[in-house]
Chain A
């Protein structure tokens, strides 16, 4: 990974200073929409340039390409062929940049491994992967496709468009916004809404808890065990896989919560990215609840144009595999991500072929405080299947993943989990219990920390407990978010 970690992380002192100043100036400009949007662009570019200012040129180029191609695509006076060319031109340019930075070295190395006995020195570019490139490229692409489809008119205000692509809360790790939802919000004036802002702060607090307590604590165990799987018994490896399942959820959904909450402070609504995925009753439901902005992107722009599930069964199989493989590959240039995609395609296929993929579209145990035994079994099975898949995702290579599985299953009953780590297992148990209870209570709410006690003192008491856990148990080195590397 060539990922640089000097980015302004949400869990850093720099962001703690940056956010209030930005908010204050932003709302001072509330009567001048143009200046307010220009300020959003400036703040977002400062946020992104904190990591490496040179990559501002890349994001500006991507944005301007999409902006001007949108003007051509949306100009009905032009010949359809010319508009089509503009669309494809923009898609090719954006994908070329993405592939160059993210995938070139991977393909060059794979080519060298097969044909040049691994001698790849003269082929590799060793380019630094720009943080968030997959997110903002997809956002820019969706705009031109939506304009081409007539879902929205082309944006004529370049500042609004730059703000749409670069809006800092969701710039580096999503949610991947659609122009149809976000762009209009930059084109009309925003008013400060007390309730929305309080809800945003609350959601940010929950996001910080998930990232800094749950994910980072799990990471200490996970990193150690995944580095030396042969040192541990099967139960320990299984535990580490479960902990990584919690880590990646806490990390990524925590980031999304902070981003969405932060956007609410600016009067901007972002789409939900996670909807209690580990309470899913089958894999299809899991994918409707996990990284929603990405899965719906692939559904709308790749799967449905390919025919989706309304084609002969052979094509359904192909479409399903394509969508999952692309989704896996989107996460990174490694065979492990492709394998992870293929694994989920295999789990998903029976459901779609039998027409069971939309069996669970409601929330689990709706209207009941507890799930039935059947639902518990379904949720546990789905969780376990996800756990097995995350091993592929976390492993450094396919060989590493298979060694891990082999060691885990062949020594599964050799003993109880046995590890020493820098933090107490009780802490993780307490944090995971809080996570599970709060998310279960809020499973039908707009976000996982929406429902609150009526009493202010009870509410504040719980916030203080969360703040205590964050302050007391945060891993003192700032740990970057996993999804920054994608």
Chain B
């Protein structure tokens, strides 16, 4: 028994070291793609975290998932007098938003925050967004804690590989992300534009909405950051296509939960699925235009912040 324990005590550190070295050595190979997420694969977060350094004291900071960075067109708000930045990223949940805020909130110092909340994101485990964040944004203590707390091998592998990329190879700084990734074009300021439309009519199963307690807790922590800095915030839910929306059995419950956290805006605009939506839960260009006009009107009516470009 002692002999096997001795051998295991020797083998385990060797195996761990070997594992780390293999992740570092093979991480660049194509077939390791499913194990590790790499820079610039999705959502333009890499471009966004470089771009954000140029933005300070903005009027509006947009936060959220793909619904955020594919809806809140910063050019439209600029044209209406607001300086703004869109810090959304692919499937970004409040857990990852909190980490991004801990890194960038003080430097960007917004006058107001629009925090996009979506039922799908609030029940998400946060894995997709975690790997996206770890490989595209600088790894700090908070990000490392998140990587371990999610207990997921893909997150852990991506963290290992990103540590190597960022701390040893310094690739984060030298990497240049494509402006165009899978039809999505990055616009300085954080918005992503897409010219195609993928909308297909599908039947979705009826869904009872739930909220992941970890996401709710992270959302509360984000809100606390705004409160500590006296930054007014607004939780915004962008409507889904009717064919998806009608499958939610308890949306009023979700609205109730969000309203309890502070100012919350959810309004269903008269939109047509096949015209105003890119897919079941993302707006198309006409839909984006209509939604932003509506939101701008709402923000103006709140008079929380004056547009600094006028």
- Secondary structure call for the A interface: helix
Within 8 A of A (CB), among B7-64: 7, 11, 14-15, 18-19, 22-23, 26, 30-36
**Interface presence of A427 (CB below 8 A):** yes
Do B36 and A472 touch across chains, with their CB atoms under 8 A apart?
A: yes
Within 8 A of B (CB), among A406-436: 422-424, 426-427, 430
For A429, the closest partner residue in chain B by CB is: B31
Residues of B within 8 A of A464 (CB): 14-15, 18-19, 22
Do B34 and A423 touch across chains, with their CB atoms under 8 A apart?
A: yes
Do B30 and A426 touch across chains, with their CB atoms under 8 A apart?
A: yes
Residues of B within 8 A of A61 (CB): none
Do B23 and A472 touch across chains, with their CB atoms under 8 A apart?
A: yes
Residues of A within 8 A of B33 (CB): 424
Q: Which of B107-115, B149-157, B217-225, B246-254 sits within the interface?
A: B149-157
Number of interface residues of A (CB under 8 A): 24
Do B11 and A460 touch across chains, with their CB atoms under 8 A apart?
A: yes
Residues of A within 8 A of B15 (CB): 460, 463-464, 467
For B18, the closest partner residue in chain A by CB is: A464
Q: How far, in angstroms, from A427 to B26 measured CA to CA in the complex?
A: 13
Do A474 and B1 touch across chains, with their CB atoms under 8 A apart?
A: no
Do A424 and B151 touch across chains, with their CB atoms under 8 A apart?
A: no
**Interface presence of B3 (CB below 8 A):** yes
Number of interface residues of B (CB under 8 A): 25
Do B4 and A465 touch across chains, with their CB atoms under 8 A apart?
A: no
**Interface presence of A194 (CB below 8 A):** yes
For B157, the closest partner residue in chain A by CB is: A472
**Interface presence of B127 (CB below 8 A):** yes
Residues of B within 8 A of A430 (CB): 31
Question: Given the known A-B contacts A474-B153, A476-B127, A476-B152, are A424 and B31 also in contact in the complex, defined by CB atoms under 8 Å?
Answer: yes
**Interface presence of A25 (CB below 8 A):** no
Q: Kindly name the residue among A197, A424, A461 whose own CB sees the greatest number of chain B CB atoms within 10 A.
A: A424
Q: CB-defined interface of A4-21 with B at 8 Å, one 1/0 digit per residue?
A: 000000000100000000
Q: How far, in angstroms, from A464 to B12 measured CA to CA in the complex?
A: 10
Residues of A within 8 A of B31 (CB): 424, 426-427, 430
**Interface presence of A198 (CB below 8 A):** yes
**Interface presence of A335 (CB below 8 A):** no
Q: How far, in angstroms, from A225 to B186 measured CA to CA in the complex?
A: 35
| Chain A interface residues toward B at CB < 8 A | 13, 27, 192, 194, 197-198, 422-424, 426-427, 430, 460-461, 463-465, 467-468, 471-474, 476
List 8 tightest A-B contacts by C-beta distance, closest first: A472-B35, A426-B31, A464-B18, A423-B34, A424-B31, A468-B22, A192-B1, A427-B31
Question: Can you offer 27 A-B residue contacts whose CB atoms are under 8 A?
Answer: A13-B151, A194-B4, A422-B34, A423-B34, A424-B30, A424-B34, A430-B31, A460-B18, A461-B18, A463-B15, A464-B18, A464-B22, A465-B22, A467-B18, A467-B19, A468-B19, A468-B22, A468-B26, A471-B153, A471-B157, A472-B23, A472-B35, A472-B36, A472-B153, A473-B35, A474-B153, A476-B152
